[in-house]
A and B are shown apart, each in its own frame.
Chain A
């Protein structure tokens, strides 16, 4: 049985292992259909709009609306 999981997009600086596992077929070998979802560029906001007490981040946005199950914090 193939398991499925959707995670939010990662970049190499914090998710190199994810990208290597994807490209080298390691998720598939472990029976996992890993899907990587990206926030549309027009929905991305920059941290410069925020403040220390009210930061702006894009992490977890897809998860909050049910479009991913995991993200990196």
Chain B
């Protein structure tokens, strides 16, 4: 993302790593991502899951064989469209990956990606540092007992019968990954930017100072680390 009108820039990686899966319907003849060549794949453009979906396709075929269509932001709607046969595949995240598997759908590819925090200029290192300390403690608690926390994925979609029917034991814990939030590696930020430019999704040259507020990122992470050491 470019610097916004309110001076917002990225300030670090999130703690929760997203799992995204390319999913086909139960009766589909497709078993591998290569078999999605020239098939309509529904992606929620503008969201990380869409770009993860595009990267999974790109890794399996020439770009000219990638055929996508715009899909709803809601994974519930994408799952419903898949089951109706509106498209050959779509990209899903949890808990809808688990819903899809339970419905007999197949995962033909999965991947993981970091997201980032974006902050305005008025966020203080002290406040962001406090946020990071709390999130780091939460990451440790989740990693100590992931099964205990999968109810959060169900709670987000309460009222959807497919999700309400899930139990904690239905979830593949390998798809739930959290890590202490940290700074954004510049090379990875550049790769992501250049990749989006290569698809015509954004324009211009990568400028790390426009993308990442390194001072806030550094100061907050230093405060968070110092605070953890004092508490230890």
Interface on A for B, CB 8 Å cutoff?
3-5, 11-21, 24, 26-27, 29-32, 34, 44-53, 55-60, 63-64, 66, 69-73
Distance A61 CA – B41 CA, assembled complex (angstroms):
27
Known: A51-B70, A53-B200, A71-B118. A15 touches B14 (CB 8 A): yes
- Is the Cβ of B118 less than 8 Å from the Cβ of A72? yes
Closest-CB distance, A19 to chain B (whole angstroms): 5
B68, closest chain A residue (CB): A52
Q: Are A73 and B10 in contact (CB under 8 A)?
A: yes
- A69 — which chain B residues lie within 8 A by C-beta? 119-120, 122-123
Report yes or no: A13 in contact with B6, Cβ–Cβ below 8 A: no
Over the window 42-70 of chain B, the binary record of Cβ atoms lying under 8 Å from chain A Cβ atoms (1 yes, 0 no) is 00111110100000000000000000101
Once the chains are docked, how many angstroms separate the CA of A45 from the CA of B82?
A: 21
- Secondary structure class of chain A's binding surface, majority of residues: mixed
**CB <8 Å contact, A47 and B50:** yes
Of the residues B44, B118, B141, B156, contact of A73 by C-beta under 8 Å: B118
Set of chain A residues within 8 Å of B5, measured between Cβ atoms:
64
Task: Report the interface size for chain B: residues with CB under 8 A from the other chain.
Answer: 62
From 9 to 56 in chain B, residues with beta carbon under 8 angstroms from any chain A beta carbon are 10-11, 14-16, 18-19, 44-48, 50
Q: Are B134 and A21 in contact (CB under 8 A)?
A: yes
- Known contacts A47-B70, A50-B46, A63-B8; A16/B149 CB under 8 A: yes
B152 adjacent to A20 (CB under 8 Å): yes
What string of 1s and 0s marks CB contacts (under 8 Å) between B114-154 and chain A? 01111110111011101101110111011000000100110
Say yes or no: B115 contacts A31, CB within 8 Å: no
Across the interface, do B123 and A26 meet the contact criterion of CB distance under 8 Å? Answer: no
Q: Which residues of A contact B139 (CB under 8 A)?
A: 17
With a cutoff of 8 Å between Cβ atoms, the chain A residues found around residue B71 in the complex are: 47-48
Alpha-carbon separation in the docked complex, A32 to B129 (Å): 10
* Chain B: CB-nearest residue to A10: B16
Chain A residues within an 8 Å CB radius of B217: none
Determine how close the nearest CB of chain B comes to the CB of A71; give it in whole angstroms: 5
Contacts A3-B126, A14-B16, A21-B135 hold; do A56 and B46 have CB atoms under 8 A apart? yes
Q: Are B47 and A47 within 8 A (Cβ)?
A: yes
Question: Which chain B residues lie closer than 8 Å to A17 at the CB level?
Answer: 14-16, 135, 138-139, 142, 178, 181
**27 A-B pairs whose Cβ atoms sit less than 8 Å apart in the complex:** A5-B130, A12-B94, A12-B95, A12-B155, A13-B16, A13-B153, A14-B14, A14-B18, A14-B48, A15-B16, A16-B15, A16-B178, A17-B16, A18-B138, A20-B142, A44-B73, A46-B74, A47-B70, A47-B72, A48-B44, A50-B45, A52-B200, A53-B201, A58-B73, A63-B4, A63-B118, A70-B118
